[in-house]
């Protein structure tokens, strides 16, 4: 499923290409499933921080089986099951990835669930545990709490012993957040907002988190939701900047002075590349929590490869609860 020129998912085209070949340090992977995430919306429009050479297949998160092993690779053989986050290339029957990014997928986990694990949960555990310093007893406010990273943040917040307040845009999404363990859920209106609308939204957040404010705010939404959320933060709270499907906000920095709070960027991909040992420890923790039933990918829909563009369109429209996966 190839992107030949910048544009929306309607521009993607299914085509036959030569089989890729594993080079030194690489694995040739028979893709079985590829999860769709918001970066897939951006990358085909040339709005993401990485711009692959065209034509390329979107699909930044995959699960599959090793088909061939490149020169110098040890520890992997044909038939081994794996998951990885290559950034693109997943919407294809076969793709090549660096062997160092591959993570083993246990035989008792499906390719569909495996494909939906890493990007959302690894982002959220890095955000909450490293950048947010979340601890038991904290109040955590999660915006966009029914999306992939949002539900992951809800589950990981509960696993850490926090009180979790989920903020979502519909009653159905509120139900999904509560099912994932949120202690409370609020339904906010759709933006954009004028100043009165932002003030009303700020009061909604303040009422939900309580008089002491939110110790940690997890924001994968951005736009006009950001400033109202920041106004509900606790003294010395941590505001986590995760994503911007509603637009890139501009925050009044006087609020950070008044609350003595931190605004923290979260870039999991760069963290994983810079500190692979710490990332590996997080992934091991995720598999432990998954095994204990405290977390688990929430796949709300699957699509065949020929409908991969529809999966990206659903993500772009912010219609997705949890994750959607393209099965191949």
Q: Which pLDDT does position 50 carry in this prediction?
A: 86
pLDDT tens-place string over residues 198-212 = 999 999 999 999 999
Q: Which pLDDT does position 191 carry in this prediction?
A: 84
Q: Which pLDDT does position 49 carry in this prediction?
A: 84
* Low-confidence stretches of the chain (pLDDT beneath 50): none
Secondary structure letter of residue 50 according to DSSP: -
Distance CA 185, CA 167 (A): 6
Distance CA 17, CA 89 (A): 12
Full-prediction pTM beyond 0.85?
yes
Burial (0-12, 13-18, 19+ Cβ within 10 Å), 212: exposed
Q: Where are the beta strands (DSSP E) in 20-60?
A: 26-36
Spell out the domains of the chain, with CATH numbers in brackets.
9-117+297-327 (3.90.180.10), 124-269 (3.40.50.720)
């Amino acid at each position: 499923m190839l992107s030949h020129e910048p544009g929306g998912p309607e521009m993607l085209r299914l085509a036959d290409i030569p089989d890729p070949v594993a080079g030194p340090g690489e694995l040739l992977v028979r893709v079985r499933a590829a999860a769709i995430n918001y970066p897939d919306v951006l990358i085909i429009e040339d709005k993401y921080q990485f711009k692959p050479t065209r034509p390329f297949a979107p699909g930044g998160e995959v699960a599959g089986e090793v088909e061939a092993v490149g020169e110098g690779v040890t520890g992997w053989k044909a038939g081994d099951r794996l998951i990885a986050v290559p950034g693109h290339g997943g919407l294809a029957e076969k793709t090549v990835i660096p062997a160092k990014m591959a993570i083993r997928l246990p035989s008792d986990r499906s390719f569909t669930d495996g494909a939906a694990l890493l990007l959302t949960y690894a982002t959220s555990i890095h955000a909450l545990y490293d950048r947010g310093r979340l601890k038991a007893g904290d109040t955590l406010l999660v915006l966009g709490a029914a999306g992939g990273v949002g539900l992951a943040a809800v589950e990981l917040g509960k696993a850490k012993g926090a009180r979790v307040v989920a903020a979502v845009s519909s009653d159905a999404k509120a139900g999904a957040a509560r099912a994932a363990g949120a202690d409370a859920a609020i339904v906010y209106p759709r933006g954009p907002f004028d100043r009165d609308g932002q003030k009303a939204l700020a009061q909604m957040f303040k009422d939900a988190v309580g008089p002491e404010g939110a110790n940690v705010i997890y924001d994968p939404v951005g736009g006009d939701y950001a400033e109202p959320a920041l106004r509900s933060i606790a003294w010395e709270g941590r505001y986590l900047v995760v994503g911007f499907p509603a637009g890139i906000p501009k925050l009044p920095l006087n609020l950070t002075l008044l609350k003595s709070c931190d605004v923290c960027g979260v870039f999991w991909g760069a963290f994983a590349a810079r500190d692979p040992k710490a990332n590996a420890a997080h992934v091991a923790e995720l598999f432990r929590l998954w095994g204990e039933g405290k977390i688990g990918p929430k796949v709300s829909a699957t699509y065949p490869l020929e409908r991969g563009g529809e999966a990206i369109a659903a993500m772009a429209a912010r219609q997705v609860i949890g994750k959607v996966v393209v099965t191949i």
